[in-house]
Structures are given as C-alpha cells and as structure tokens.
Amino acid sequence: MLVAAGLLASLATALPASSIHRAEPVLETRQNRNTQTAAGPCADMTIVFARGTTERGNVGTVVGPPLLDAVKQLSNGLDVNMQGVDYPADVRGFMQGGDPQGSARMAGIIKALAADCPNTGIIISGYSQGAQLMHNAADQLDPASASHITAAVAFGDPLNGQGVTGVDTSRVLVICHDRDNICEGGAQIRQAHLTYGQDVGKAASFIMQAAAAGQGAGQGGVEAPGAGAAAGAN
C-alpha cells in the first residue's frame, strides 16, 4: 500500500491534469478513424497498442498517436491502423503487473485480427503499464495467433529484460531510458519515463524492417520498401 501511495503521489506530480487532457477531442477522432474491428476492413498493418497508466482515451497521448503517425510516414502507402485497448489504466492495474482484464482484452483483439485478417501484419505495442499488457497478452496467445505478429515494441517497460512469448527476439524492441525507475522494476514516475514520444521514429523504423522481414514467412509480413534500419533495444 505504501508503494502504491507513493506511485499515486508521483503520478500526481509528474502528470498535471493539463497534460492528461491535452488534445482529447482530436484523439477521439483519431481513434475512431484508425480503429479496426473484426467487422471492419482489414489493413495491411495494424498496431495493437496499450496506453500507459492514467492516460486518457484508448491510445493515450505520449506514445500512441505519434507512433501511428511515424509508422504511416514510413509505410510507402500501405494502409496502417491502430487499435487501442480499452482498460482502466489505473495504478491498481500497474501494481498487479498489468490489468488482468485489459491483458485478456488485448489478447482477444490479437486473436480476432489473426483469424479475420490473416494477411494483416500485426504489431503489438505498449507504454508503461501498456507494456505489461503487451507481455501478458502474448502469454495468452496460441501459436497460430502469435505467428501473425511481425513486431513487438515496448516503451518504458516495467518488464524490461523479459522476452515476449511467441515472438522471436529479433522482432522485439524494448526502449527504456536511462534513469527510468519503471524500467528498473520500481514504481517512481520520473521525467525519463514521460519522454518516450521522442523515440517513435526509431520504433517505426524497426517495425517496418520487421514487417518486410516477415514477408513470405507466414507472419503476416508486408512489403516495406524504403524502411529504415532496425534500432537496437536500449
């Protein structure tokens, strides 16, 4: 309880209300435009993204929207969607190692995409608690569903150093900043944990190279000419 209280206080200091609510109307439009469901059209690539603790909307503000924009810039005209994960994103979920229901929901999204859009390259990604969800969701996938994942990208990963079940290490990128206590297994939100939006270019290059490498490998790979070189994990 003391750790949770400390994390709440840290979040209150690090994430002022103005930053949490910023650009929410734009995000809602973005989410509607880029949300793909089993009943909707199949994109060439879909990023299944879980936002961080206390972020609003279903893709947040720090990483989700700029990551989608960065991937689209490198997509060479491919149709790229982002599917957010609807979950509370509260401190309790973080302390549980990632909200259990949100983790199951993310796994369900991935399974539905793999079944209904077999030619779609699936990228799984998460920021902070969202990275916990990404790991947990991968643990719940059957091998057939996991085979459609072309890349897994974690930002500010509380499970830094752990693999992603069913995804080859060459397709996993973990971005952790120096002095990010969350990446060190702690519960303190420091400035280093709030700046992962600056890393979306690196992540997008990795995603596009992984997608190209998956072409013909039975992993929902797509042609990605002009993609940049993959960036190593920090």
The number of CA neighbours under 13 Å toward the Cβ of 4 is: 9
From residue 157, give the alpha-carbon distance in Å to each of 50, 121, 153, 204, 234: 12, 23, 9, 17, 11
Whole-number pLDDT of residue 2: 35
Return the beta strands (E) in the chain as ranges.
45-50, 80-84, 121-127, 149-155, 172-175
Per-residue pLDDT band for 78 (boundaries 50, 70, 90) equals very high
Structural tokens at position 8? 């709440």
Q: Cα dihedral angle (84, 89, 94, 98), rounded to 10 degrees?
A: -40
3-state helix, strand, coil in the chain (%, to 5): 45, 10, 45
CA–CA separation, 186 vs 156, rounded Å?
Answer: 11
Q: Hunting for tokens 């401190």 — which residue is that?
A: 91
Mean local confidence (pLDDT), 145-173: 97
Look at residues 81, 76, 129, 133 and name the one whose alpha carbon lies nearest to residue 104: 133
Identify the band that residue 106 occupies on the pLDDT scale cut at 50, 70 and 90. Answer: very high
**Per-residue pLDDT tens for 22-38?**
323 333 333 333 444 44
Q: Where are the domains of the chain?
A: 2-213
Is pLDDT above 90 for 46?
A: yes
Residue-wise pLDDT for 63-76, tens only, equals 999 999 999 999 99
pTM of the model: 0.79
Residue 173 and residue 231 in contact, taking contact as beta carbons nearer than 8 Å: yes
Active site residues: 128, 180, 193
The angle at the Cα of 81, spanning 192 to 219, to the nearest 5 degrees, equals: 95
CATH superfamily of 2-213: Alpha/Beta hydrolase fold, catalytic domain (3.40.50.1820)
